[in-house]
Amino acid sequence: MLRFISSKKNQITLISGILIAFAYFSEFVLKNEELFKWPMIIASVLGAIPIALQAFSALRVKVVSIDVLVTIAVIGAFIIGEYTESAIVTFLFLFGAFLEQRTLNKTRSAIKELTEMAPQNALKQMESGDFTEVQIDEVDVGDVLLVKTGAKVPVDGTVLSGEGYVNEASITGESFPVSKSKGLSVYAGTILENGTIQIVSDRVGEDTTFSKIIELVEEAQDSKSQTERFIDRFSKYYTPAVLILSIIVWIISKNLELAITILVLGCPGALVIGVPVSNVAGIGNGARHGVLLKGSEAVQIFSRVDTIAFDKTGTLTVGKPKVVDTKIYSDNPTMALNYLSSVERESDHILAKAILEYIPNAEYFTVENTDVIKGKGIIADVDGHRIAVGNLALMEHDKVILSDEMIQDISEFEKSGNSIVLTSIDNKLSIIMGIRDQLRPDVKKHLDKLKALRIKNLIVLSGDNQATVDRIAAELNLTQAYGNMLPSDKSAFIKELQAKGHKVAFVGDGVNDSPSLAQADIGIAMGGGTDVAIETSDVVLMNSDFSRLPQALGLARATARNMLQNIIIAVGVVVFLLANVFFSEWMNMSIGMLVHEASIFVVILNGMRLLGYKLK
């Protein structure tokens, strides 16, 4: 019965409204009192049924809800013959619930939009080699799939062949197409805007990044902050208190109408709904713009952060080193570079990749007798020559003699913040290369935005050498810079900052910086859409987009402010209404319920402003 009545609540609201309108038409146009009274009576009974059923359900679990207060008030008004009051109160209460649901559905639009983006079908390669359209549930890890222009990528996968541009807005919040070719990753729910690609499935179903994002946002929007939990506890005791107050007023004043009016006006509806709607709207805004805020508690804490510590590589920098300085001592520079390229082609080290990118047209020779010296580099035979590639310790190990000029050059390269790669040919130093990670584009501009948001301390914590860290700190105008730090050192440093009273956020890659992400008040992952980053942090900046960090902080602070505004509005309206019950003559149940429902609508509209928030 309850389920049936609840499903018809909107229709009941409409019928009640029509009956009330007809009643007033009968009174003012037809001048018929009977035709005025009976529609009001029917509207009262009809409107009270769903409210009374909800009140009964609440009482069964020992909760004195708002529905209980309204039900008692309506029954009381009906008993004393105030049919107009009872009809209007039930209609406004039901109509307010209808508006709440409609507007709350709008604030959850991020989830709806994401869910609608989820792919349903895929073109799967069958044993015959042909591609056949199948349901997404029929795709397994390792399957080869075809994605055509305009189609959604069905799973997380790796491009096997073909090229195209993919719109990754559902993952990163950026609609600018990203070029995809062999070996690059693609994500479920993104759209291939042009081209045709074949991909191998890496993650399917609930394991895809897209599914994890939907799950995360749903959990975050349903989570409760400390403020919300306090309001829940407050409402639990406040509602019975209003009931007791009305009984006391009735006993003292013998005025049943006054007591019933107190029941209606004391409903804490706006207080109960105000904070959750801000939470849902704020988190929904972030989800649409590549910022995942993991719950209302994270929003509240993030809004109070005054210190942000950064890992360097992959956070302030792009995580892709490039050769920036070179010094060659060999009489045959071209051949020296060819020998270096031949050795580095045998390695998958990140510095080796930078060197090969720097020498794109090298002539490669056969590499023999390779000997990897742990922590130092590689020694090998190339074209009849002994080639050593590595750091200064490798040169000492291989007894390479360095002139004063070479030592001075190496020192200068290090002072510039470079990682040094030395190459010797037949025990003679031939090449010095300085390799440096590049700062993220516009990172200084985004750090300045954080300062404008009243972040007092911007600190870099890195495992790189101090000279490199100092150079980056000076270039970005950071507050402090610490190099040569292990993950445990970073975590300990954050703990010291917290002991001094700072609210600290740490920004890292979500993998090797997990101790710091856990220790910080707020862990922020430059996620790149990885499941590791999503699971180990409080905030995820999808696709490692640093520009999202100021937006995320601004959104968190706007959401926290919005929650406070809604609390003030809700409490202020209840105080205003109750005060006017005792100190004015114009206040009655109908007016009070109208103001009460209006206050609920105001806090919902105020919360919905967050859906359009953008950092100025």
d(CA 294, CA 128): 45
| Residue 557, Ramachandran bin (φ over 0: left; ψ between -120 and 50: alpha; else beta) | alpha
Contact between 515 and 499 under an 8 Å Cβ cutoff? The reply is no
Same fold, 294-318+440-553 and 322-436: no
- Which residue in 253, 269, 256 sits closest to 74, CA to CA? 256
Q: Express each pLDDT in 457-506 by its tens digit.
A: 999 998 777 877 888 899 999 999 998 787 778 888 999 999 999 999 99
On whether the pTM is more than 0.75, the answer is no
Give one word for 501, left, alpha or beta, with left for phi > 0 and alpha for psi -120 to 50.
left
Strand-pair partners of 147: 197
The span from the CA of 286 to the CA of 549, in Å, is: 11
* CA distances in angstroms from 4 to 1, 12, 290, 388, 417, listed in the order given: 5, 12, 40, 81, 71
The CATH fold of domain 322-436 = Calcium-transporting ATPase, cytoplasmic domain N (3.40.1110)
- Indicate which residue of 311, 409, 464, 545 is catalytic: 311
Among 288, 282, 283, 281, smallest CA distance to 171 is for: 288
Structural class in CATH, domain 294-318+440-553:
alpha beta
d(CA 608, CA 611): 6
d(CA 289, CA 369): 53
DSSP state, 121?
Answer: E
Distance separating alpha carbons of residues 30 and 36, to the nearest angstrom = 9
What was the pLDDT predicted at 175? 47
State which H helix or E strand residue 60 sits in.
Answer: helix 33-60
Give the SS3 label for residue 555.
Answer: helix
pLDDT number for residue 535: 64
pLDDT attached to residue 216 = 58
The candidate with the shortest Cα–Cα distance to 436, out of 462, 414, 407, 466, is 414
Low-confidence stretches of the chain (pLDDT beneath 70): 1-2, 64, 96, 99-117, 169-176, 209, 212-232, 235, 269, 375, 510-512, 514, 527-536
Parse the chain into domains and list their residue ranges.
120-154+156-203, 294-318+440-553, 322-436
Question: H/E element holding 322?
Answer: strand 322-328
**Is 311 part of the annotated catalytic residue set?**
yes
Pairing verdict, β 522-526 and 539-541:
parallel
Whether the Cβ atoms of residue 426 and residue 306 lie closer than 8 Å to each other: no
Strand bridging mode 121-125 / 131-135: antiparallel
Dist CA 265 CA 589 (whole Å): 7
Pick the CATH number of 120-154+156-203 from 2.70.150.10, 1.10.1040.10, 1.10.3720.10, 1.10.10.10: 2.70.150.10
Q: Is residue 403 classed as helix, strand or coil in its secondary structure?
A: coil
3-state secondary structure 563-599: HHHHHHHHHHHHHHHHHHHHHCCCCCHHHHHHHHHHH
What's the pLDDT at 457?
Answer: 95
